[in-house]
Amino acid sequence: MRLNSPQINLITRACMKASRSLIRDFGEIENLQVSTKGPGDFVSSADKRTEKILIDELQKAHPDYGIVSEEAGIINKSNKVNRWIIDPIDGTMNFLNGIPQFAISIGYEENNEIKCGVIFNPIMNEMFCAEKGNGAYLNNSRIRVSNKKNFGDALIVTGGPKGISKIKDKIFSEYVNVSKNVSNVRKLGSAALDMAYVACGRFDGYWQRELNYWDVAAGIIIIKEAGGFVDFFEEDTKYPLKKNVLATNSNIHKELGDLINKKDIE
Ligand code: 2AM
Ligand code: CA
């Protein structure tokens, strides 16, 4: 990895440390799936264990920084200048089912702008990271978005709707719309990895509604530094942590955006 700012070093170290217990926990899932209690409670405790290791490591270096994290909520709320945005396990449903498509995702924000981010899939040992102005990397190699220009050939990834969604029909109709116009649409179940995969050219584009900021914070800088575009649409100022995201290799941004019923991207 060629990035070596103090923030990136800190995040990657925290990820490596947390991933050791996460890998152990993932190994337990198989046993729990056959038990009568099922793995549900275990997963939420794995989430909390991972989160605690990450937060402890980050706080050791910067006790005053703000933190927005999926389980712990908001810490040091008054610090809006320096914030960590943490998702300890993105792709929880996959984790719960023994599918190795999940990741730790951590973004670092200064004055509301993401400066660097890391997305780490500990099972595949794939660490995606980026730092503003210094490019995006997968492990030790520089990554770039795909070069595909023909929308009809594009491979797109999406996710949702979640079980409690009130706009399932809208989300399904977008899925149909997009599917009819591209080569194929995939759903892999981890928003953070979906974005990382756009950044390294495995997918040409991604969109998803009803996400939380911690699902996508690290992905924003990784895609941008890999040469892609990221937009949030239909933002609700009352809920700044709720996000609808459109992210592409840049070439197909308008075409994918036009097929989504978004109201505010031109
Ligand atoms: P999670 O695994 O951390 O919950 C799956 O489509 C993607 O959407 C995952 O990144 C998942 O994050 C995210 N997501 C956010 N809220 C969700 C919810 N209530 N149900 C399912 N997935 C959700
Ligand atoms: Ca998540």
* Separation CA 100–CA 261 (nearest Å): 32
pLDDT for residue 34: 64
CA distances from 106 to 30, 110, 257, 259, 261 (A): 27, 14, 26, 30, 29
Looking at residue 89, its pLDDT comes to: 96
**Which ligand 1 atom sits closest to the C-alpha of 191?**
10
User: pTM score, two decimals?
Assistant: 0.95
Q: Quick one: pLDDT at residue 146? A: 98
Burial category of 21 from C-beta neighbours within 10 Å (exposed 0-12, middle 13-18, buried 19 and up): middle
Q: Is the CB of 92 under 6 A from ligand 1?
A: yes
pLDDT at 137: 98
Question: What's the pLDDT at 45?
Answer: 85
Q: Using 70 as the pLDDT threshold, list the residues of the chain that sit under it.
A: 1, 33-38, 261-266
- The architecture of the domain spanning 6-142 is 2-Layer Sandwich (3.30)
How many angstroms separate the Cα of 167 from the Cα of each of 162, 212, 261? 9, 16, 12
- Whether the CB of 189 sits within 6 Å of ligand 1: yes
Looking at CATH, the fold of the domain delimited by 151-259 is given as D-Maltodextrin-Binding Protein; domain 2 (3.40.190)
Q: What is the pLDDT of residue 222?
A: 98
Tell how far the Cα of 120 is from the centroid of ligand 1, in angstroms. 17
Q: What is the pLDDT of residue 3?
A: 85
* Dist. CA 119–CA 96, nearest whole Å: 19
- Per-residue confidence (pLDDT) for residue 31, from 0 to 100: 75
Contact between 252 and 154 (Cβ < 8 Å): yes
Please tell me the distance between residue 111's alpha carbon and the centre of ligand 1 in angstroms. 26
Q: Which amino acid is at 113?
A: E
Q: What ranges do the domains of the chain cover?
A: 6-142, 151-259
Which residues fall within 8 angstroms of residue 116, CB to CB, at 6 or more apart? 3, 5, 7, 8, 11, 107, 108, 129, 130, 131, 132, 221
